[in-house]
Amino acid sequence: MDTPWLDRQQLAAWVRLVGVLELLPGALDTQLRRDADLTHFEYYVLAMLSEAPDRTLRMTGLARQTNATLPRLSHVVQRLEKRGLVERVPCPEDRRATNARLTDDGWDKVVATAPSHVGAVRELVVDALTPEQVEQLATIADAILERLDPDEAMAETYRRYDV
């Protein structure tokens, strides 16, 4: 099979995307560790719970929303439990399932952390773009997500703010 190699323009775009994918997570992690003593993934878990009804989700649903394996999520939730930010409780609808619930301290942590995190997101991404480019970024991300998530397993997470 003949591989259609990337042309110069495609290669330039690809390498830049790789740069963003490599540098942005570290920059967000650095900000959250410095300002809130949280990793980006820990904050993401807390944020997903903060937006859920009763600040509670089944562990399987939370894993789906954060694109985490259950073992990884369980490990992170355990760390957050030790800090009093999350608690695991039996699911009332299905005794075999476990729910993760954001505690009052967890809610306070999200509320206290959100402003500086949004500031970092603005500084690193949003404010670097024009309003037109923000729209283009959403369109480009949608095109890529159609390939990465053809079954739309995470669509609820990345489409929740659509107009």
Q: What is the mean pLDDT of the chain?
A: 96
Domain co-membership, 114 together with 147: no
Domain co-membership, 118 together with 78: yes
The predicted pLDDT at position 64 comes to 93
Domain co-membership, 63 together with 118: yes
Domain co-membership, 101 together with 133: no
The predicted pLDDT at position 1 comes to 83
Structural domain that includes position 59: 25-124
In a domain, 1, yes or no: no
Q: Please, is 65 exposed, middle or buried when counting C-beta atoms within 10 Å of its C-beta (0-12, 13-18, 19+)?
A: buried
Q: What is the per-residue pLDDT across 78-136, written as a single tens digit (0 to 9) for each?
A: 999 999 999 999 999 888 899 999 999 999 999 999 999 999 999 999 999 999 999 99
What is the number of structural domains in the chain? 2
Q: What percentage of the chain reaches a pLDDT higher than 70?
A: 100
In a domain, 12, yes or no: no
DSSP-derived 3-state class of residue 73: helix
Number of Cβ within 10 Å of residue 17's Cβ equals 12
Contact 138, 161 (CB under 8 A): no
pTM, two decimal places: 0.91
Q: How far is CA 147 from CA 6, 32, 52, 113, 143, in A?
A: 18, 30, 27, 33, 7
